[in-house]
Structures are given as C-alpha cells and as structure tokens.
Structure 1
Amino acid sequence: MRHIAYNAFLPLGTSLSLARLHALGNGIGKLIWAVLPSRRKETTVCMQERLGLDEREARAMAKASFQHSACSFLELFHARYMDHRFLEERIEYENPDLFVRMGSTLRPVVGVTGHLGCWELLGGVLKRFNTKTDCQVVARLPKDVALADLLMHMRTQSKIRVLPHREAATEALGKLRSGGLCAFLVDHNCKRAEAQFLPFLGKVAAVNKGPAILALRAKAEVWPFFLIRLPEGRFRAVTLPCLDTATLEGSRAERIEQICRFYTEAVEKMVLRYPEQWFWMHRRWKTRP
C-alpha cells in the first residue's frame, strides 16, 4: 500500500516547477510548525542554547528552518533536471578556483556536506562538473522500505550512485582507491560505537567516523562542499579548502580524530553563517559520551 501511495505521489512531485515545490515546501513547513508543538519548542530551545539567541529570535529562526528544511526535502524531485542552463543561470560559485580543483583532482575525493542548504540538489551540481566517471553518495535510508526505495530511485542519476550506509564500506573504499569520489552527509547523530565525540556548536556531539576511516585508508582528499539557498530561486555553491589525509601525522586514532574534527568544524562554520538553513529538527546531540 505504501509503495502505491509513494508511486502515486512521484509523478506529482516531478511535474512541479522548482518555484511550486518551494511554495509547497513553505506550506508543509508551516504545517509541521503548527502541529508539532513539542518539536517546535525543542528546536527553539536548542537554537537559544547553541546560538545564544533570545526566545523571540530563536522562534522566528526555528520557524524559518522548518520551512527551509521542507523545501530542501522536496527539492529531491528536481535534482534530475539540473541541466547546464539551470546551473549557469541560477548558481553562483564562492571560491570557484576551489570548486574547479575539487572537480578535476586525480586523487581520491571524500566529499563532505551536511543537512544544510539544498543538499538534495548537490548531486546535480557534482555530476555536471566533476571529471570522475562514477560518483557515489552514501546515505542513511529510512526504515520504511517503500520510502527508502523511492529515495534511492530519485537520488540515483547518471554518474551518481547511492549506497545505503550499512552496506557502503567495501564498495566505497574500492572506488576511492581507484581515484573515485564518495560523498557523505556528516552532521547526523550516530551510535556510540560509530562515534568520535567532538564539540559541535559548543556541545559535544557524536560524529560519525566512518567517512574519516575511509578517507584515511584511501589516502583521499576531504572536500567540504555546500549548496546554499538564495532569494528568487538562486543558489550559492560553497567549496572550502580540502584536507589531504596523506599528509597527516600521528597514530591511526589521532589521524581519524583530525579528519572528523576537520569536517565537523567545516559544517559548524556553515551553520553559523546560515543558521536558518540547517536541519535543526534533527536531534543532533542525542548520543552522549
């Protein structure tokens, strides 16, 4: 039954323009804000504590975050339609020299980003400008099998293959060692056994060390990359300087911590720049040391 419902929604989602998807997302975000008072309060308090805002400022920003996140999830339906014209007309590039270097390097690349900005559209940007023939995106999928199948279908594109995170390690490492690119969302909470505990926005968080381990084993460059939403249907691609894991010193555990700290601080920097565009509803600090 769920497969039927999701498949019925698929043509509707893909038929809408980006502007209509954003209008729908804003409406859904407002609805979630209205019907989930406990999550609304939790997000507001979290923003007060992590950003030092007063209650009024935090509520306004939390509501904007609900709307933004809903838009970001719905952009999944537009990811396949990001052609060269769309990229040329709608996307500006901060640090374009770094973006070119990330796309043209012959080294293995671990791309890291977060649930910030327009993460579902990032694949469309990478596949158009990345010189590597096969890019992989490691994603956590929901327990709902029908919804997971829908997400896998929509995120898989030419040159972009989605790997469920529980099954990704061996294949991702093989691709990296052959000079490929593998991208990860690195700002989600994780189990204690998978975690490197590091400060994030002033509070210790469980940072998934899986991407760091793969980067270290493949001697990869770690590139932080984000797509930020701008007014009037425009976007800004932000590429930050990379970390070359082949140059790190120390024990294996120390090098893994250095890599985890690098991409955690990169996400933190962007959240502080664009706080309303981060997925604050996620319980980021749930797992404790």
Structure 2
Amino acid sequence: MRPPYSYIARTAPKLGFKGTKRLACVLGGCMWHLVGSRRRLAVNAIEHHLNVSRVKAEEIAKASFIHNFRSFLELVLVGRIDEDFCRNTIKEGRPGVIEQIASIKGPVVAATAHLGAWEILAGMLGSLIASKQRDALVVVRRNKNEGLHELICHFRGSQGARVVDHRKAVFTVLKALKREGLAAFLVDHNCPRNEAIFLPFLNDIAAVNMGPAVLAVKANATVVPVFLIRDELGGYVFHVDTPLTPDQLQGSRDDKIRQVAEFYTGAVEKYVRDYPEQWFWMHKRWKTRPEGAEASRSHDRQ
C-alpha cells in the first residue's frame, strides 16, 4: 500500500511555478483577512522591531503573508531545482556565488532563515553539493503530524539533500561535516531557553538557537550565510555572504560558539531589514525571554 502522502507527492508538483504563485496570492490574502491574531502579531512586530509607521507595517505584513505562502508551496517544486535550473534560472547576488558555495573546501555550515524562497534553497543545496559527491544535509524541526513530516522530507530531499531531525542531528551532522559535507540550518526561529543564546536581534533580545554554532565549532566548519531572495520580476537571486572561517574565532569554546551565533544572527538581521516583506513575521520570534526578563512589547501584544 502506498504511503498516505503519495498522491500529494505525485500531483502537487504539477502546479508549477505559476500555479504556486497564484495559489499563494489566494491563500495569503485569505489568511490576512480571516486570521486576525496572526495579522495583528505580524503588524505589531514589524511596527516595533523595524520602527516604522502603522500604515507601513501593515503594508509589509500583508506582502509577507503572500511571500510566506509562496515559500511553503514551493516545497513541492524542490525536485525541479537541478543544477541546470540553478545555473540558468537563478541569478547571482554577485558574480560567482553559485560556484563559491559549491567549491568551499572542508566542512560547511550553511545558515539561512525563513526568508525569501527558503524551500527552493533546499533544492539548490542538494543539487549543487550532492552532485559533487559531498554530503548535503538539511536540518529541520520535526512536525508533530507524522504524515505531514514524511511529505515535507520527501520534497525537501528530492534533489539529493538528506533531511535530518534537529533533535537527532548531532551525530549525523558531525559525521557528515568530518567528511567535508555541508549542513544547512534555519537559524531564525524561536527556541526553548535551554537551547538558546540570548542576542540582540531587530531592536530586541531574542533566543537564538546555539545548536548550529556548537556543531560548527566542534567540526571546525566554515559558516556561510546563504539566502535565496525573490526579485521584483518574480525570479530568484542567490546571496552568499562572506564566510566565517574557524581561524577567525578566538577565546574559549563558549566564546567561539557565541561568536558564530552572533555572526549568523547578524546576517539574518541584515537581510530581514533589506527584504522585510519576505520574512516570516507571523512567527512568535521573541516569545522565549531571558530568565527574569520582562516580555518584549511585541510579545505583550502576541
């Protein structure tokens, strides 16, 4: 008997890029009008953390709803993101960045965010890295719904990247990194206090997941911020920031972990400020607070 997600796995990709874009406009618009709690959460967060007017915050938030739905739906298209698609369709933020990410020597930790076309990015990393006979891992949080989790893993891994549950990732990721592989992490989500380093992020203090930093330091990996941003024409632009190499880190192990976490958090903040309408504002990013600290103003409103 076929698994319960098999029908979706076979039929959803037929939507294509135009179909997912149209459906995202419909679903994003519906959620904007119907789910007032998420609308208010996003608008309040933008107004406070970007220090913009209420009108501007609403404009950014509404655009982000549509961008976010498009990102979720693009999950079904990961299988189409082969090496030819990457080199012929995706633009480079600066010349040579696609070759740069594919040719970095040694272990690599790629840090990205729920920004732009993050699901398409999973396909890129799979096709560019796995095609060169290197391990390519995408570390994700496990969905509570087993069927949905299987579906997500099916699509995210359809270009050769291996999807790893973040709670079971340590041994698997370290093994891959020691073989000079690449492990990609979404580093912008809220996390429990016992997994966090508290760092400045968008005019507030946020709980930053230190897991990717711990693994990078342990494996002596190069840390590379990578983002796939949509352009005004509906295409994609691949950005790779200047990497952080192990020899740039100083001090104790804890000092190095903090430096890595500060590095990827700073990169995410820069891109969120540049492309605020493409970030996942409806997420309760500042929910976890330092022990004894007052809730942020945005959290009070959530």
Partner in structure 2 of residue 266 of structure 1: 267
Contact 2:13 2:76 in 1 (8 A): yes
**How many Å separate the matches in 2 of 1:201 and 1:25?**
27
The unaligned stretches of length 5 or more in structure 2 are 291-302
Q: Identity of counterpart residues, as a percentage?
A: 42
* Structure 2 counterpart of 1:222, one-letter code: V
**How many Å separate the matches in 2 of 1:86 and 1:129?**
11
Q: 1:158 to 1:64 in 2, by over 3 A?
A: closer
* Structure 2 counterpart of 1:77, one-letter code: V
Partner in structure 2 of residue 278 of structure 1: 279
Contact 1:245 1:259 in 2 (8 A): no
Partner in structure 1 of residue 70 of structure 2: 71
Deviation at 1:5, TM superposition (A): 6.9
TM-score (norm 2): 0.90
**How many Å separate the matches in 2 of 1:126 and 1:269?**
22
**How many Å separate the matches in 1 of 2:90 and 2:97?**
15
The unaligned stretches of length 5 or more in structure 1 are none
Contact 2:197 2:209 in 1 (8 A): yes
User: Mean alpha-carbon deviation: is it higher for 83-92 or for 269-278?
Assistant: 83-92
Partner in structure 2 of residue 203 of structure 1: 204
Partner in structure 2 of residue 58 of structure 1: 57
Contact 1:90 1:233 in 2 (8 A): no
**How many Å separate the matches in 2 of 1:71 and 1:118?**
8
Question: What is the 5 A alignment of 1:8-23?
Answer: 8-23=7-22
CA RMSD of aligned residues (A): 1.7
Partner in structure 1 of residue 232 of structure 2: 231
Contact 1:196 1:209 in 2 (8 A): yes
Partner in structure 2 of residue 123 of structure 1: 122
**How many Å separate the matches in 2 of 1:16 and 1:199?**
40
**How many Å separate the matches in 1 of 2:112 and 2:93?**
15
Deviation at 1:9, TM superposition (A): 3.5
Partner in structure 2 of residue 257 of structure 1: 258
Query: How many residues align structurally?
Result: 287
Partner in structure 1 of residue 294 of structure 2: none
* Structure 2 counterpart of 1:179, one-letter code: E
Contact 1:187 1:267 in 2 (8 A): yes
User: Mean alpha-carbon deviation: is it higher for 245-254 or for 143-152?
Assistant: 245-254
Query: Residue 34 of structure 1 aligns to a residue in which SS?
Result: helix
Deviation at 1:7, TM superposition (A): 4.3
CA deviation map 1:56-86 (0-9, x unaligned): 1111110110010000000001111123443
CA deviation map 1:94-120 (0-9, x unaligned): 133344232112210000100000000
CA deviation map 1:126-179 (0-9, x unaligned): 233333522001001221111111111111134310001011111101110121
**How many Å separate the matches in 1 of 2:26 and 2:108?**
37
Q: 1:132 to 1:268 in 2, by over 3 A?
A: farther
Q: 1:262 to 1:182 in 2, by over 3 A?
A: same
* Structure 2 counterpart of 1:92, one-letter code: K
TM-score (norm 1): 0.94
Contact 2:5 2:148 in 1 (8 A): yes
Contact 1:216 1:246 in 2 (8 A): no
